[in-house]
Amino acid sequence: MEWLAKSKGCNICHGPESTGSKDKVPIGPAWKDIAKKYKGQKNAADRLTRTVVTGSEPGSGGRHWKDQARGVAMPSNTIAISEADASKLVRWILASDKQDANNRAQ
């Protein structure tokens, strides 16, 4: 699934691991931090899929990472990714805190 994230440009702004400092994060939050934040939340996958497709501007999900990421919104990814692929990626992201290095390399 990592190849999908790369091919869709997600990795320009997101990395797999937290860098431990909001000044060092690329632009968006790390996959593992997203997984931690939404762990156990009902409908998280569906809500995040919408956010990935439409962006996190106010009105389409809002900004949730003001203090942990660079404090900017995620632009809409509609052009880059289909809703089906976004949903697949979100489910992979939400499971990323359980994956070991082997799984992540796939």
Angle (CA) 97 68 92, round 5°: 25
Site string for ligand HEC, 19-38 (x = CB under 6 A): --------xxx----x----
- Does 91 engage in binding with ligand HEC (CB under 6 A)? no
Per CB under 6 A, the list member of 30, 33, 48, 99 interacting with ligand HEC is 48
- Give whole-number Cα distances, 82 to 25, 64, 65, 85, 101, in Å: 26, 23, 24, 5, 27
Q: Which is nearer to ligand HEC, 63 or 101 (CB)?
A: 63
**Binding of residue 10 to ligand HEC (CB under 6 A):** yes
Does 78 interact with ligand HEC (rule: CB under 6 A)? no
Instruction: Find tokens 């593992």 and name the residue.
Output: 32
